[in-house]
Amino acid sequence: MRRHASRFRRKASCYSSTLVRPPRLVVGSVLTAALALVALPGLAGSRAPSPIEPVPAAAFQQLTIPADDSRSTVSIGSLDAAFISDGSLAADSAIIEPAPLQPDAVTANRSGVDQPSAGSRSVRKAPKGARSASLSGTPKYTLSGGATFYDNGTTAMRLPRGTVVKICGDGGCIVRVVNDYGPQKKSRVVDLYRPDFFAICGCPSYAGTTQVKVYVY
């Protein structure tokens, strides 16, 4: 056993570290070869690209196609009737000037009518609204005083409801039925609805009171 062990040691000692190539040296050699191929392409057999050469004119050949009547032609058809405006002129439309108007036998023998001449004049029409108000009969008595307006839509007086009155101012007269009580101020005799007030007062729109005369029926 001792002899075999000594022989094995002798054989192992023959392979020293200087005889085996280390793995780092192999990897370095491969990388060096790859960098040489990239950095020095001329050594690897590559060459610069050749410039683009123009195509010679002799490479083109002239082509002639004869024209004849057998080919199809492009034609534009007429418009649809739905897209043609009323009274449009066609290619064969005839334009005729109107002839002078000639009186026919019926109108020539017709008797003329004398029309009154229209002159400038003024006509005074009866006023609408307030001045056209009228009542039959004689009023029982009259009241005079101030009048004002409210937007209640009522005719207020210190009279029984249902009393018919005719109220007159500088702008005209109206006939109303008393349907509310008022006014509170003694110097006033009636409180009117705003449209009724301006219909009889004859005053500008900024006015608030007016003097009226009331006929009680």
Residue-level pLDDT at 16: 52
Q: How confident is the model at residue 173 (pLDDT cuts 50, 70, 90)?
A: very high
**What's the pLDDT at 123?**
47
Q: Which residues of 201-210 are buried (b: 16+ CB within 10 A; e: fewer)?
A: beeeeeeeeb
- Is residue 118 very low, low, confident or very high in pLDDT (cuts 50, 70, 90)? low
Instruction: Write out pLDDT tens, residues 55-65.
Output: 888 888 887 77
Listing DSSP states for 4-22 in one string gives HHHHHHHHHHHS-TTTSPP
Q: What is the pTM of this model?
A: 0.41
Q: In sequence order, what are the beta bridge partners of 143?
A: 214
Stretch (H or E) spanning 193: strand 188-193
Mean pLDDT, to the nearest integer, of 78-83?
Answer: 70
For the cut 60, the answer to whether the pLDDT of residue 83 exceeds it is yes
Band (pLDDT 50/70/90 cuts) for residue 68 is: low
Q: What is the pLDDT of residues 10-25, one digit of tens each?
A: 555 555 555 555 566 6
Residue 153 pLDDT greater than 50, yes or no = yes
- 128: pLDDT confidence band, cut at 50, 70 and 90? very low
So where are the chain's domains? 141-216
Closest CA to 212 of 145, 129, 135, 132: 145
Q: Quickly name the fold that domain 141-216 has.
A: Barwin-like endoglucanases (2.40.40)
